[in-house]
Amino acid sequence: MEEKIIFLDIDGCLVKHHGGSSSALPFWKTELLPDVKKKLDEWEVAGYQIIITTGRKESYRKFTENQLFECGIAYDQLVMGLGRGERVLINDKKLDGTITARAICIDRNDGIGGLEL
């Protein structure tokens, strides 16, 4: 099986989303969602690359890096400042027709513990 690259949003997927603007971030209690750490560890052992994405402003990078570290969330890259709009992943199919991209939308604050890739 080929290595997978997983793109994960922070708020609402990894930690509880409290709503509001980025300026409220330092005042939120960080709540890791159920089984997030277990699932991330499972994917890391499987050799998947983890790319964390967020609409948080770049000025909150240090805060976000510290938050992820304190939660024990390991990742390969952190992409910030994506805004709040729809995110579309576009990739080409392999010559044999193999699909190389898909998206999974989960309910806010449900976490990723139950996901099977």
Reported in sequence order, the residue ranges of the chain that DSSP labels E, i.e. its strands, are: 5-9, 49-53, 77-79
Range of the domain at 41: 1-117
- Residue with the bigger pLDDT between 18 and 55: it is 55
The pLDDT tens digits of the residues spanning 40-57 come to 999 999 999 999 999 999
pLDDT at 78: 98
63: domain CATH number is: 3.40.50.1000
CB neighbours of residue 64 within 10 Å: 20
Rounded to the nearest 5°, which phi and psi values hold at 78? -125, 115
pLDDT at 1: 53
Number of structural domains the chain divides into: 1
pLDDT at 3: 81
The pLDDT tens digits of the residues spanning 73-117 come to 999 999 999 987 888 888 999 999 988 888 999 999 999 998 888
Q: Judge whether residue 15 has pLDDT over 60.
A: yes
The most confident of the ranges 27-36, 60-69, 95-104 is 60-69
Question: What Å distances lie between residue 109 and 39, 52, 69, 101, CA to CA?
Answer: 15, 16, 20, 24
pTM for the model stands at 0.86
